[in-house]
Amino acid sequence: MPRFAANLSMLFTEAPLLERFERAARAGFTAVEIQFPYDAPAEHLQQALLQNRLSCVLFNLPAGNWATGERDIACHPERIDEFRQGLDTALTYASALGVPQLNCLAGIRPAGVPAETARHVLVGNLRYAALRLQAHGLKLLIEPINTHDIPGFFLHGTRQALDLIAEVGADNLFLQYDVYHMQRMEGELAGTLAAHLDKIAHIQIADNPGRHEPGTGEINFDFLFAHLDRIGYKGWVGCEYKPATTTEAGLAWMKP
């Protein structure tokens, strides 16, 4: 069975962020991930991890103003300096939390910016970030997102992500494969995971439709989890879903 990490940005949201660590540990998790940890002081998050004997396995680079609808700025030509400043902040948090990898969201292509320009900016930012992270022994991940939930998101397919990884040419750049997003965009989950396992450093899960917990939709997670074991996936599986009711009730899928 794969190793599961609780996404504390989407699970246990009945409680404030710093209280979710204890709830995750009580539910049986040994690891967590956070979409954006930056609203809490790094030392408070570090203490919550230590107190609950949890490891943090992933969080995202700063993504612009998420509250106003921005979905990262890595492909925005006029915000390269802001991207690099955000990377500095992320590295500070990564050091405090002992996280081994950071995810970079590509963002929505700005109006009026040609696709070739956005790609050029994204490649340059990824090269810069990968080099900075490599100096700290960290992996950099990129994640395709479905364009039904986020129209205009620049990186939206596995092949596109793999082509970017090849163009950037950094040994520490990998794919974050989100089962929910790729079910909506491509399907062929098992075949894609098997074919590109060497480039996949992290997996996230949610069922479709609704982005709820496994067992609420069309994806055969019993098969998929056994498939990950068969193909030898050794990374974490992040539970990045919206509980259909409460987090604790929605964790029944883990009991078998």
CA distances from 163 to 142, 151, 155, 169, 233 (A): 11, 21, 11, 10, 22
DSSP state of 53: T
Residue 187 CA to residue 189 CA, distance in Å, equals 5
Distance, CA of 9 to CA of 32 (rounded, Å): 10
Of 143, 213, 218, 248, the catalytic one is 143
Residue 5, phi then psi, degrees to nearest 5: -115, 135
Q: Give the C-alpha separation, 115 to 75, whole Å.
A: 9
User: In sequence order, which residues have a C-beta less than 8 Å from that of residue 22 and are 6 or more positions away?
Assistant: 48, 51, 52
Taking the C-alpha atoms of residue 58 and residue 11, their distance in angstroms, rounded to an integer, is 15
143: annotated active-site residue: yes
Cα–Cα distance, 71 to 5 (Å, whole number): 23
- Pairing state between β 236-239 and 3-7: parallel
User: Which member of 43, 78, 240, 248 is catalytic?
Assistant: 240
101 and 139 Cβ atoms separated by less than 8 Å: yes
* 82 is a catalytic site residue: no
* Catalytic residue ranges: 143, 240
